[in-house]
Amino acid sequence: MVKCVREPIIKYAEFCAGVGGFRLGIEASKMQAELVYTNEIDNSCEKTYERNFRQGFDSKDIFEVDPASLPDFDMLCAGFPCQPFSVAGKELGFDDSRGTVFFKLLDIIKEKQPKIAFLENVTNLVRHNAGRTFATILRSLEEAGYILSPTVLDTSYFGVPQSRSRIYIIALLEDYYGKTRIQFTERKTERTPLRPFLNNGDYSIPLSPKWQDYVDIYLGKKTAAELSFKAPKTRATLERLATNCDINDCILQVRSSGVRALSLDEPFPTFTVLNSGGGAHIPILSKERRHINITEMKRIMGFPEWYDFGAVSRTDAAKQLANAVCPPVIVSICDDIADTISGAAGAEGDNKHDEQSA
């Protein structure tokens, strides 16, 4: 018997919640939704989450969660760990324990049968292991009774000054929504450049003396031979100078392979924070000779101005933002879900009822 009564409020559970990027997007969308459960293993993320939402997480280690003990919910959301599938990692996929989080999520989905599952990951998930990893994920969800709508979206087309492409999978329970698929909005803006989002004059994350020397090299004010220390190959010269980039007024992206000079009049590439010795290498503005500040990081990730990272160190705040989902994209997708499913359950139920009566 197909359910055909729609609840006005969608109850949702957020797994691998991070600092609440999904929640921010859902609450800013037209979707009428109520959070009933949160899961995240990172203690530092919980400090930030509590500071902003006045509540902690319901559980930490997802592998210790008993699916049968969870409250009922209509939608499951999860930006499950991307490191096992990212080209920036070892690409161990399901051979990495973090890569098996998907199968735990699948267990939860099978037990709770939410009407909607909303998953996010890096785009390399689609290509990983010659496409076999992604095929396994899609097949598993289909066998659990879901109709799938996967799409790749770039944040720079949603008013976010960062080109961060991600794969989003919306799974709708076939017994409730029939064969309904989501019609995604692929862009809301033109590509969004970084320059208008700078918080000029905020020197809250200054350069160390060593990085002042590195910047001198990149600006042509010193040579590597003039330094008081030996610069490693990945720092001694620029790895790449982007087209139409003014080296004296650009952003320097610090990568494990080297340092790249990028134009402020283009979207920033995928925002990542390179970990080093317990700290973090944060992008640098060459003109003001400083690291980008937390306000700029929030803007690069589409987080609201009011969102407070004061409960953790700047390094932890940078890492949390770099691992977050971009709320404006979540807003758009949730709007698309709301528009697509409006009336879909009732209409599908009526159609199936008519078929059964005939």
260 has pLDDT over 80: yes
Active-site residue flag, 82: yes
One-letter amino acid of 183: Q
Compute the distance between CA of residue 97 and CA of residue 170 in angstroms, rounded to an integer. 24
Q: Is residue 1 in a domain?
A: no
Helix (H) and strand (E) counts in the chain: 12, 13
Print the domain residue range for 340. Answer: 10-190+323-357
Report the chain's C-alpha Rg in angstroms: 22
Question: Whole-angstrom Cα distance, residue 77 to residue 12?
Answer: 7
Q: What are phi and psi of 88, to 5 degrees?
A: -80, -10
Span of 254-258, 261-265, 275-279 with lowest mean pLDDT:
275-279
Interval 41-53 mean pLDDT: 97
Q: What's the CA gap between 358 and 353, in Å, rounded?
A: 9
Give domain status of residue 183, yes or no.
yes
Both 219 and 278 in one domain: the answer is yes
Q: Please check whether residues 108 and 51 belong to one and the same domain.
A: yes
For residue 336, give every residue at least 6 positions away whose Cβ sits within 8 Å of its Cβ, in sequence order, or none: 182, 183, 184, 185
- Rounded Cα gap, residues 195 and 182, in angstroms: 34
47 and 83 part of one domain: yes
The pLDDT tens digits of the residues spanning 76-92 come to 999 876 565 555 555 55
CA distance 108 to 274: 33
Identified catalytic residue from 82, 245, 250, 334: 82
Q: Are residues 186 and 210 in the same domain?
A: no
Same domain, 31 and 73: yes
At 96, is the pLDDT very low, low, confident or very high (cuts 50, 70, 90)? Answer: low
Residues 85 and 150 in one domain: yes
Question: Among 249, 269, 292, where does a domain finish?
Answer: 292
341 Cβ neighbours under 8 A, 6+ residues apart: 116, 172, 177, 180
Strand partners, 240: 260
Place of tokens 């996010």: 120
> Does 236 share its domain with 149?
no
CA distance 203 to 291: 8
Q: What is the DSSP string of 215-249?
A: HHHHTTS--GGGSSSPPPHHHHSEEEE-TT--TTS
Confirm whether 306 is domain-assigned: no
Question: Is there a contact between 96 and 83 (Cβ–Cβ < 8 Å)?
Answer: yes
Sign of CA dihedral 270, 292, 47, 56: negative
| Number of domains the chain is built from | 2
* Cα distance between residue 84 and residue 340, in whole Å: 32
- Where does a domain end: 238, 270, 292? 292
**Nearest CA-CA partner of 262 in 194, 188, 351:** 194
- Using CB atoms within 10 A of its CB, is residue 89 exposed (0-12), middle (13-18) or buried (19+)? middle
Last residue of a domain, one of 240, 270, 292: 292
In 85-164, beta strands by DSSP E? 116-122, 146-154
**94, 166: one domain:** yes
123 and 144 co-located in one domain: yes
The percentage of the chain sitting over the pLDDT mark of 90, rounded to a whole number, equals: 76
What six digits make up the tokens of 32?
């009428």
pLDDT in tens, 159-209: 999 999 999 999 999 999 999 999 999 999 999 999 999 999 999 999 999
24 and 116 housed in the same domain:
yes
Domain assignment present for residue 315? The answer is no
Is residue 300 in some structural domain? no
Q: Does residue 236 sit in the same domain as residue 143?
A: no
- The answer to whether residue 231 sits within a structural domain is yes
Question: What does the block give as tokens for 109?
Answer: 């989905």
Question: What's the pLDDT at 355?
Answer: 44
Q: Give the type of residue at 265.
A: D
Are 32 and 337 in contact, with CB atoms under 8 Å apart? no
Angle at the Cα of 343 from the Cα atoms of 338 and 346, rounded to 5 degrees? 135
In the chain the first and final C-alpha atoms are separated, in Å, by 15
**Token reading at 322:** 């770099």
Q: What pLDDT is stored for residue 100 in this prediction?
A: 79
In a domain, 311, yes or no: no
Q: Are residues 44 and 150 in the same domain?
A: yes
Which neighbouring-strand residues pair with 279? Answer: 276
- What digits encode the pLDDT tens for the residues 100-152? 788 899 999 999 999 999 999 888 887 766 778 889 899 999 999 999 999 99
Q: How far apart are CA 300 and CA 58, in angstroms?
A: 29
Instruction: Identify whether 284 is part of a domain.
Output: yes
Tell me which DSSP letter residue 263 carries: -
